[in-house]
Amino acid sequence: MTHDQARTAANAILVAAGVAAAYVVLRNPRLRRLAFRGASVWLGASLPVYLLEATSRAWVESGRAA
C-alpha cells in the first residue's frame, strides 16, 4: 500500500466514524441537547475572541493611529 492509498483509507475511516458519531448524537435527544449546548458555549466563548483579534489585526495592518 502506498502512502497516498494509506492516507485515502485513513481519511475514509475518519469520515465514516464522524458520520456514525453524528448519527448517534442526532438520534439520541439527550446527546443532541448536550451537543447543542456545548456548541453554543464554544461559539459564545470563541467567536467574540476571534472577532476581536481579527478587528485588532485589521486595525494594525491599516496603519491607522489609535
Q: Dump pLDDT digits (tens) for 42-55.
A: 888 888 899 999 99
Q: Is the pTM of this model over 0.75?
A: no
Residue 63: what pLDDT? 83
Return the pLDDT at 27. Answer: 95
Report the b/e string of 5-38 with b at 16+ CB within 10 A.
Answer: eeeeeeeeeeeeeeeeeeeeeeeeeeeeeeeeee
Name residues whose C-beta falls within 8 Å of residue 9's C-beta, 6 or more positions apart in sequence. Answer: 1
d(CA 62, CA 66): 11
**How far apart, in whole angstroms, are the C-alpha atoms of residue 18 and residue 25?**
10
